[in-house]
Amino acid sequence: MTELVATTLGLFPVAGWADAAPARGSVGADEPAAADELTAGGDARTREAVLDAQVAAGLARVVEGQLGWRDGLVHPLVASDGVEAGERRTSDGTDATDRVPRVVDDLRPSGAVAAELAAARAHLVAGDPPLQAVLPGPYTLADHAVDAHYGDGADLLAAVADLLAGEAAAFPPIETLVLVDPSLVGSPPPEELDPRVPEAVDAVAGAVDADVVLFAPGGALGEKLYAHLMDADVEALGFDFLTERADTLYNVTEYGTTDAVAAGVVDGGAPAVADADTVRERLAWIDEQVPTQEFDRIYVAPNAGLRSLSVAAAKSTLSTLADAAAAPLDG
């Protein structure tokens, strides 16, 4: 029987959570946050409210929310030594970047993401769902960087992978790590770099004792790149089943896939949220289209981060995901 695991890709709306309701064990909603509550991940009270919303919705994995990632998915690169933040620009809608970071020296991990996760873990109590970490995929970080130091695409990708591995090695205990890699779809690597991408993913995955999901939102992966990604040592590949799903299905049926998959079945950028029955129909369709493979697990997820949503729409999305995953597909 396929296990359904409701989760998200992170990148939650930044403002409005703490005003909506006080978080468990935090200061009251009308009290100011203490100075020591302000961390690299933003206001501690807001982080706690984000965690509590996920617990209340019934998600099977909860994320820190990436509230302090003001530069979107490139935040771990912008925060690194050896990087100039670059000019701010309008987001392209993929949660990939709000800046164009410039690599000017050897990349070194900052430890900021581990600190955010430790703060999140400290708020969770016995009986809460386990913690899921979110990082950008190594190719997306390399793709969005201006390289003024390494001089070669393969060397930059390897350095970015080492940076992310260093960040991940400092994480507190987590259940799952999701690598969100939209550039694999939106700006795919040159063919000669294809074999290096799963190597980069493996470098990050090997740094954690957790299930690792590689999710490429935004559409279907190129056929040759997908075949290479099947070599990556991850528990699950993630697919956007709302965009170019016929091409995605072709890759899955032609080349196979991992025993577990992550399915983007809710539009992470749409303020109008599909109901749980509609999402379950989408999950059933995926299961029916791959009759040769019974998935051990399907991570039920949005097809993007939730940052562009209002807090109300983000909460509705969380509840829909949890409701859709509440009963087994075959029962």
pLDDT digits (tens, 9 = 90+) for 205-232: 999 999 999 999 999 999 999 999 999 9
What digits encode the pLDDT tens for the residues 117-132?
999 999 999 999 999 9
Per-residue pLDDT of the chain (331 residues; tens, 9 = 90+): 899 999 999 999 998 887 655 456 543 333 333 323 334 334 789 999 999 999 999 999 999 999 999 888 999 999 998 999 866 665 544 444 567 899 999 999 999 999 999 999 999 999 999 999 999 999 999 999 999 999 989 999 999 999 999 999 999 999 999 999 999 999 999 999 999 999 999 999 999 999 999 999 999 999 999 999 999 999 999 999 999 999 999 999 999 999 999 999 999 999 989 999 999 999 999 989 987 778 999 999 999 999 999 999 999 999 999 999 998 886 5
Burial of 34 (0-12, 13-18, 19+ CB in 10 A): exposed
Domains of the chain from N-terminus onward: 3-324 (3.20.20.210)
Q: How many other C-beta atoms are found inside a 10 Å radius of the C-beta of residue 311?
A: 21
Q: What is the pTM of this model?
A: 0.91
Question: How many other C-beta atoms are found inside a 10 Å radius of the C-beta of residue 19?
Answer: 13
CA distances from 124 to 7, 37, 228 (A): 16, 16, 38
